[in-house]
């Protein structure tokens, strides 16, 4: 299992890095706009209407962005949890924990993609 994890390490780091980009930068900005900007009247809520949001999410680019916004932060969380576990002294059991966490991230990714495709 350790050999497989070493082969997948570049892919895992790619997903982790993109999860940081989307989860930390873009989702934080979106949350600030929706949760602070709109209620305070700084930002118009016209862009958040259902028809407009559904129309954007129904395009190919919109579906790709939504799938990325859902799936990549899951990989970020799985990778963070793995390294928290290693730092807490669980490095000798990493060959068991890492596949479980990445399997959860894979299932979450597949479910996210299926939800976005059905949109």
pLDDT digits (tens, 9 = 90+) for 44-70: 888 788 888 888 888 999 898 888 888
Count of domains observed in the chain: 1
**Count of H-run helices and E-run strands, the chain:** 6, 0
- The pTM of this model reads 0.72
Token pair 């209407």 is found at 49
CB-CB contact of 62 with 56 (8 Å)? yes
Examine the pLDDT at 43 and tell me if it is beyond 80.
yes
Residue 84 belongs to domain spanning: 2-117
Examine the pLDDT at 1 and tell me if it is beyond 70.
no
Examine the pLDDT at 6 and tell me if it is beyond 80.
no
CATH classification of the domain holding 65: 1.20.1300.10
Examine the pLDDT at 11 and tell me if it is beyond 90.
no
């Amino acid at each position: 299992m350790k050999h497989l994890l070493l082969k997948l390490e570049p892919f895992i780091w790619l997903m982790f890095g993109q999860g940081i980009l989307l989860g930390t930068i873009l989702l934080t900005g979106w949350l600030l706009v929706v949760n602070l900007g709109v209620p305070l009247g700084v930002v118009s809520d016209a862009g958040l209407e259902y028809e407009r949001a559904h129309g954007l999410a129904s395009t190919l680019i919109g579906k790709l962005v939504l799938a990325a916004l859902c799936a990549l932060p899951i990989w970020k969380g799985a990778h963070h949890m793995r390294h928290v576990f290693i730092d807490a002294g669980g490095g000798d059991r990493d060959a068991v924990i890492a596949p479980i966490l990445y399997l959860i991230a894979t299932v979450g990714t597949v479910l996210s993609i299926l939800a976005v495709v059905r949109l």
